[in-house]
Amino acid sequence: MNDLLNFGANQMSGLRYECRCGRNHNVDIENIMIGSGVISSLNQAVQRFAGRKIFIIEDKNTRMAAGDRVEALLEEEIEVYKYVFDDEHFIPNESSIGRIVVEIPEDTGLIVAVGSGSINDMARFISFKLHIPYIIIATAPSMDGYTSTVSPLIVDGVKTTYNAVYPNMIIADTDILKEAPMHMLHAGLGDILGKYTALADWRISSMLNGEYFCDLVEELVLETIKKCMGVALKIKDRNPEAIESIMEALVLSGLAIGMVGASRPASGEEHHLSHCWEMVFMDRGIHTKWLHGNYVGIGVGIIIEAYRYLSSLNIKKVYEKGTYRHLDRDKWINVLSDVYGKNAENVIRYKADFINFDTDIREKNMIKIMKNWDGIKHVCDGFLPDPETVRNVLKESGAVYHPKEVGIDRELFRKSFIAAKDIRKRYGVLQLLEDIGELEAAADEITDIYYSRL
């Protein structure tokens, strides 16, 4: 029954697993290769596409990191075409997608994406739209989207998630991965640490809202986070085993999303914070080198503080105080407008029906939370690591851990803590704090921790 927990990512391809949670967990990927030198198997791996055209998608950086090598390996027997984006910061938008549709030969049999986040996101979407299988040659262990079936793309200037497909194959050669820029290695670590709070939010939501939950998938993800915590300090030396553990964990995290059919085990309020900051920077025209995973890593410490704040409350006193009964609509709109700028209207419209202004519903939610208080306390105290531990792992591995380091000042921090949950409808600790009328007080306390005490 628990065999799944002993599987490495390499053994997960083709998985068909009847789980005790009542669902089947499947992995529709033909081959997952992670390790030193695995790229040399590329030619053999694509043999069944021999005689068809292969189209490589890469940018000038990923071409240097692995693309030239890929081309040399493939050209031995196969007709290879390619498109190299020469943008300094490649953006997976309508223009990039259109460019590929223009360049790709009509009878292409296989797409080979060489890169990490954005190149992969775009290739996955094009593969889905054109019905051409694709494989990914990973160049950095920076995010868990390698094994995703959706694609975040920028359309009309807004980050939107589109349906896509699994890659046929993932080839992640640690000799290539370990040479990636250091902030990309740290981003991978940050995205993995984010699973702690993602899993905690998932548990809380299953408790309060009866949302589907699989404890085996939870355990699978939790084991891989712990393994990464153990090797994190070796990342700064580009230690191959540490890089392999991070990549394994990122692949497994992506597979976990596919297994449960939702990103629940991989993304919670720490991701909402990250997405919120990414939107703020985009809105204000600020370009930073920091990646999704760097922001997520910072978010984990903050969200664990939120859990800690929750745990410190005497829920009966919160009930007696009664502030949870009323949520001020104008105040809510004002904070969202301050944070999201020209995107605020979209966010308000998107979330308006999911925010509870109704006193009766708020009362019911409060009662439900009080009934489940012991379980909630257990998630706060027994499940999550100390926020200091997480911050130290990031700090000592050389990664950013404080929002100040990525350009978030005290005021934006406090407001984004309040507004972050509203870019999604997913339930987590920030929504819980709002339900009990404590979100603002938690924002004050945690702003003080980060901007006066750390």
Sites of contact with Zn ion (CB under 5 A)? 19, 21, 191, 214, 216
Nearer to Zn ion, 58 or 191 (CB): 191
Nearer to Zn ion, 96 or 197 (CB): 197
Spell 232-255 as b/e; 16+ CB within 10 A means b: beebeeeeeebbbbbbbbbbbbbb
- The H-or-E segment that residue 132 falls in is none
- Nearest distance from C-beta of residue 242 to Zn ion, angstroms: 19
Q: Which residues contact residue 82 at a Cβ distance below 8 angstroms, ignoring those fewer than 6 apart? A: 55, 56, 57, 58, 67, 71
Nearer to Zn ion, 153 or 214 (CB): 214
Long-range residue pairs from 235-240, CB within 8 A, at least 24 positions apart, any chain: 235/185, 235/186, 235/189, 235/397, 235/398, 235/399, 236/182, 236/397, 236/398, 238/178, 238/179, 238/185, 239/178, 240/36, 240/174, 240/175, 240/178
Q: Which amino acid is at 415?
A: K
- Nearest distance from C-beta of residue 253 to Zn ion, angstroms: 8
- Nearest distance from C-beta of residue 216 to Zn ion, angstroms: 5
- Nearest distance from C-beta of residue 293 to Zn ion, angstroms: 6
Q: How far is CA 79 from CA 3, 54, 287, 332, 343, in A?
A: 41, 6, 38, 58, 45
- Nearest distance from C-beta of residue 395 to Zn ion, angstroms: 20
Q: Which residues contact residue 245 at a Cβ distance below 8 angstroms, ignoring those fewer than 6 apart? A: 224, 227, 228, 230, 231
3-class secondary-structure state, position 190: helix
- Nearest distance from C-beta of residue 420 to Zn ion, angstroms: 14
In angstroms, the CA 93 to CA 125 distance is 11
**160 neighbors 153 (Cβ within 8 angstroms):** yes
Nearer to Zn ion, 216 or 433 (CB): 216
Nearer to Zn ion, 121 or 191 (CB): 191
Nearer to Zn ion, 78 or 216 (CB): 216
- SS3 sequence of 22-79: CCEEECCCCEEEEECCHHHHHHHHCHHHCCCEEEEEEEHHHHHHHHHHHHHHHHCCCE
- Nearest distance from C-beta of residue 78 to Zn ion, angstroms: 34
Burial bucket for residue 427 (CB in 10 Å: 0-12, 13-18, 19+):
buried
Nearer to Zn ion, 45 or 192 (CB): 192
Nearer to Zn ion, 108 or 206 (CB): 206
- Nearest distance from C-beta of residue 79 to Zn ion, angstroms: 36
Nearer to Zn ion, 121 or 438 (CB): 121
- Nearest distance from C-beta of residue 1 to Zn ion, angstroms: 11
- Let me know how long the chain is: 454
In angstroms, the CA 138 to CA 127 distance is 17
Nearer to Zn ion, 63 or 124 (CB): 124
- Nearest distance from C-beta of residue 119 to Zn ion, angstroms: 17
**113 neighbors 133 (Cβ within 8 angstroms):** no
